[in-house]
Structure 1
Amino acid sequence: MTESERPQRALRRQSDPARSPLVPDSVEAEIRRHDWDAMECGCGRSAGHLVGAVRDAAEGHPSAFRALEGHVFFGEDLKPPAPAACGVLMAVWSAGPPRQSTREALLWTLLALLCTVDDGGTHEAGLHGQCAAFIRTGTEGFRRELATAPGSGAAAYAEGILEILGVRA
């Protein structure tokens, strides 16, 4: 290792937060799969600052999901980090968050992502299409949520997701 490489490695180690025992390996792998610093966030900065928010969401903090608004989506528009964030959210969903409040916040966020304007053309998957493809992988889990918690907020969000995806509940 050269002298100029040492400070860069040290800086990378400092900016990489300690791994949480609450974040499943599959979710951590999905977080690391994306080059967050290379994406422009909806707030205009590098999306690297979103890593902490998606880790907080993976740990089960319901407010972390709402904190993605303005960065990953805003109103009816998706922002460039939306597919990466959606991949992490679906990894969280697949890991099966145990708390009802976490599942509800996660499903609200997925529904918000699906309720945006489709920005893809006839021969491409824009940000919306990429997010929908990630979300579609959780169809069976959404059906289970709807069946096991009828009348709950989570079930209502799951039903909305299934409806937008055009799959039967």
Structure 2
Amino acid sequence: MRGSEKPQRALRRQSAVPRSPLVPDSVEAEIARHDWEAIECGCGRSAGHLEAMVRDAAEGHPAAFRALEGHVFFVENLKPPAPAACAVLMAAWFARPPRRATREELLRTLLELLCMRDDGGTHEAGLYGQCAAFIRTGTDGFRHELATAPGSGTAEYAKAILEILGLPVV
């Protein structure tokens, strides 16, 4: 595929899926940035079907986060779509989901990604390294969650993420 064809293909994919008013443009842009069809999913198919799953998660459907298991990670291992899905989840985090239940499931999923085994891959820091790098970009937001919602589930997940990343909690 020539370089100029990839952006056109992404635009066709993006326009083929109805846009949700609940998904911020920044999250839609992150979804469109990845060639989901070219990634092998953890379920053995193309990861193209994950676009709808990550969009549902970005809309705030808590069950959509749990649906990523078996596709993005399974048991203790990350699967090839993990970095792309993590990038979308972080875009959703930066868009500041208003509902606490959505933020809690989002943080729980990010924590789950950080609790997976490192795949030991060296390409682009491996799956784990790529996910950790994406999650590390949200450090300030995790600390904000700790400060504004002490004692909540979101604060506990944020604290655990910071600890796993080896970053100061305060």
Q: TM-score, normalised by structure 2?
A: 0.88
Give 3-state SS (helix, strand or coil) of 2:125's partner: coil
Kindly provide the amino acid, as one letter, of the partner of residue 140 in structure 1: D
Give 3-state SS (helix, strand or coil) of 1:125's partner: helix
Asked if 1:135 is matched to 2:140, the reply is no
- Cα 1:68/1:123, change in 2 over 3 Å: closer
- Work out whether residues 103 and 154 of structure 1, in 8 Å CA contact, stay in contact via their aligned partners in 2: yes
The 2-side partners of 1:58 and 1:138 are apart by 16
Give 3-state SS (helix, strand or coil) of 1:88's partner: helix
The 2-side partners of 1:139 and 1:19 are apart by 29
How does 1:137-156 map onto structure 2 within 5 Å? 137-156=137-156
Is the radius of gyration larger for structure 1 or structure 2? 1
Kindly provide the amino acid, as one letter, of the partner of residue 82 in structure 2: A
Give 3-state SS (helix, strand or coil) of 1:117's partner: coil
The 2-side partners of 1:74 and 1:123 are apart by 21
1:14: Cα distance to partner? 10
Identity %: 79
Cα-Cα RMSD: 1.9
Structure 1: runs of 5 or more not aligned: 1-8
1:76: Cα distance to partner? 1.1
The 1-side partners of 2:72 and 2:28 are apart by 19
1:126 alignment counterpart: 126
Note the alpha carbon deviations across 1:95-147, whole angstroms, 9 max, x for none. 00000000000000000000011123578510000000000000000001111
2:103 alignment counterpart: 103
The 1-side partners of 2:15 and 2:87 are apart by 22
Give 3-state SS (helix, strand or coil) of 2:51's partner: helix
1:150: Cα distance to partner? 1.1
- Cα 1:100/1:37, change in 2 over 3 Å: same
- Work out whether residues 120 and 129 of structure 1, in 8 Å CA contact, stay in contact via their aligned partners in 2: no
2:4 alignment counterpart: none
1:162 alignment counterpart: 162
Give 3-state SS (helix, strand or coil) of 1:112's partner: helix
- Work out whether residues 124 and 130 of structure 2, in 8 Å CA contact, stay in contact via their aligned partners in 1: no
The 2-side partners of 1:116 and 1:127 are apart by 10
2:45 alignment counterpart: 45
- Work out whether residues 13 and 32 of structure 2, in 8 Å CA contact, stay in contact via their aligned partners in 1: no
1:94: Cα distance to partner? 0.2
2:112 alignment counterpart: 112
1:16: Cα distance to partner? 2.5
Kindly provide the amino acid, as one letter, of the partner of residue 81 in structure 2: P
Q: TM-score, normalised by structure 1?
A: 0.89
Q: How many residues align?
A: 159
Give 3-state SS (helix, strand or coil) of 2:23's partner: coil
- Cα 1:37/1:122, change in 2 over 3 Å: closer
